[in-house]
Structure 1
Amino acid sequence: MRLTTRTTTDSPRVAPIPSPRCFRLTAAVALAVATMTACSVGSSPHGKLARDKRILASCDAAAPPASDIQLDGTGSSNSKTITEERMAAIEQIVRTTAICSGRVRVSVFAGSSAATATLFDGLLPLHGATDNARLKRVAPVVDDAMTEIRDAYGPAVAGLQGKGSDITAQYRLAGEWINQVGGNFRLHLLVLTDGFQNVGMDLSKRATSKKEAAELANKTDVPKLPGASVTVAGLGRVAGSPPRSDIVEGLVNFYDALCKKTGAAKCVSVTDYTSEGR
């Protein structure tokens, strides 16, 4: 299945990442965090520092990122391959958020807003008197955060209560979280899910046209998220046999319409991960 993205934005288009080999969620992650820059800058320490400096230069000091990353913990997309792809995406967002002096929350969800477990929530401070000194602390800060996230993931998924997948409820939780965070943070919401909502509606039964998707979205309660960036990635990406392309296109239609209802500044719906080496 080819990668399909739909984007609406009030800000300049983010430059594409030239090397998807860095991780399979390249397109989604590049658009999920607007400050993301190219990952193909070399593997040497000098290359990494140069990349981090470019990220730092693109940070919005007036509105640091509050990156809310939500993982669908239900069985339909629960496979080792998908989990590793998601973890690679999370690591890149954590790195960018740290460089931009932001905050990250990572959680896993299932059948309701109550069936949610937080894996990580906190600021990612980089102490130091100069930019170079602070950037040298990026790697250990990211490593510590990712170790905490990875260690908590398995037990959290195993402990989720209830059946089904309530994806739309996560928008409300994101709205509540950014209000609690306060300050001048800008919300970057990334939902990693196959998109098959089955609580209150069932999006897996048949293809949904743009008109039907808009009607469903209008009936769905979501908060207003002005200024936010919202990405839903992995639509149709399941552990078993892939769904029909028209059903996946219906998922894109629905999540495009749902994001539009939130009033977010940037909306991205991604139907598949990029192919290795593409």
Structure 2
Amino acid sequence: MFTQDSKRALTAAALILATLTCGCAFESSPRGELGADQDLLKTCDPAAPPASFVQIDGTGSSNSDAIAAERMTAVEAIARRTAVCSGYLRVTVFSSSSAATAVLFDGALKMDGATENARLKRVPEAVSDVMNKVRSAYAPAVQALPQSGSDITAQLRLAAEWKQQLGGNYCLDLTVFSDGFQNIGVDLGARALSRQEAERLAEQPAVPKLAGASVVVAGLGRVAEGAPPSAVVEGLVSYYTKLCQRTEASSCTAVSDYATATR
């Protein structure tokens, strides 16, 4: 039987995968891991492989073992899709500014092999290597970050700069994991915001252009202790949706739950 939490996690996983524009959503396969990867490969666009940028909020309000585990599971799913589609993956943690970041992984995930199946058979080992590096670096990186707030707008700018530096024909898939509260320059947790109020606030910060990108902000309102009222979370969703839309990204999704791997 699914708990309420697992149902929410399933919904979040579907939302995150469905909003990726650099390829279609993944559907599970009854043919095992290789079969699932073969199905996923069919959705990849060889002309525009994913540049997957995962940014993880390292501030204390969402610092718990359960949330960290959820984040790692979601990162693993993103790494797998990136490897299947021969993309590039960058994983960072951040806090109060564009300078307050730490890189957990940065590298191409293009599999070697003479045939399609030979390349796909290398995916599990490649993803395992990525996750070993990310998991081992995560806690020390978080501990070293300043805890004065989260500058999420700065992370959008870093994503735009990284995509430009990466060059090539990559398509940016940006995923930001954050509770959304401690955004530098605006107090989003003082009270519940109406959609109109949240959108007006989201008009204020300068944002980069992310044309063609897929942007997901996940974990809004998900904190280590307690749960904010649903009206507060709805305000967060409205704020980050509008903030993303101003970047002119092809796809913008703001959700309150993490993808916690159920396959």
TM over 0.5: yes
Same amino acid, percent of matched pairs: 54
Residues 1:33 and 2:17 aligned together: no
CA contact (8 A) 2:8 2:257 kept: no
Q: Residues 129-187 of structure 1: CA distance to partner in whole angstroms, max 9, x if unpaired?
A: 00011011001111111111111101100111251121221100101110111111000
1:275 & 1:27 partners in 2: Cα distance? 11
Cα RMSD for the two superposed structures:
2.2
2:148 & 2:14 partners in 1: Cα distance? 31
Residues 1:270 and 2:259 aligned together: no
CA contact (8 A) 1:32 1:188 kept: no
1:125 & 1:20 partners in 2: Cα distance? 34
Residues 1:71 and 2:60 aligned together: no
CA contact (8 A) 2:20 2:251 kept: no
CA contact (8 A) 1:24 1:276 kept: no
1:23 & 1:218 partners in 2: Cα distance? 32
1:201 & 1:68 partners in 2: Cα distance? 24
For residue 199 of structure 1, what is the aligned residue in structure 2? 184
CA contact (8 A) 2:211 2:250 kept: yes
2:115 & 2:168 partners in 1: Cα distance? 24
Structure 2: runs of 5+ lacking an equivalent: none
- Quote the offset at 1:29 in angstroms: 3.1
- Quote the offset at 1:255 in angstroms: 0.5
Residue 210 of structure 1 aligns with an amino acid whose one-letter code is R
2:171 & 2:261 partners in 1: Cα distance? 31
For residue 60 of structure 1, what is the aligned residue in structure 2? 45
- Quote the offset at 1:23 in angstroms: 7.0
1:23 & 1:224 partners in 2: Cα distance? 31
Residues 1:226 and 2:226 aligned together: no
For residue 8 of structure 1, what is the aligned residue in structure 2? none
Residues 1:160 and 2:149 aligned together: no
Structure 1: runs of 5+ lacking an equivalent: 4-18
Pair 1:26–1:185, CA change in 2 (3 A): same
1:139 & 1:24 partners in 2: Cα distance? 25
CA contact (8 A) 1:36 1:96 kept: no
Residue 42 of structure 2 aligns with an amino acid whose one-letter code is A
- Quote the offset at 1:36 in angstroms: 3.9
1:124 to 97, 109, 116: 109
For residue 209 of structure 1, what is the aligned residue in structure 2? 194
1:143 & 1:243 partners in 2: Cα distance? 35
1:28 & 1:80 partners in 2: Cα distance? 23
For residue 259 of structure 1, what is the aligned residue in structure 2? 244
Q: TM-score, normalised by structure 2?
A: 0.91
- Quote the offset at 1:47 in angstroms: 1.1
For residue 75 of structure 2, what is the aligned residue in structure 1? 90
- Quote the offset at 1:102 in angstroms: 0.3
- Quote the offset at 1:209 in angstroms: 1.8
1:248 & 1:232 partners in 2: Cα distance? 13
CA contact (8 A) 1:115 1:162 kept: no
Q: TM-score, normalised by structure 1?
A: 0.87
CA contact (8 A) 2:70 2:260 kept: no
Q: Residues 186-216 of structure 1: CA distance to partner in whole angstroms, max 9, x if unpaired?
A: 0011001111134111100011222222221
CA contact (8 A) 2:56 2:178 kept: yes
Residue 184 of structure 2 aligns with an amino acid whose one-letter code is V
Pair 1:22–1:144, CA change in 2 (3 A): farther
Pair 1:61–1:20, CA change in 2 (3 A): farther
Residues 1:109 and 2:94 aligned together: yes
1:223 & 1:87 partners in 2: Cα distance? 27
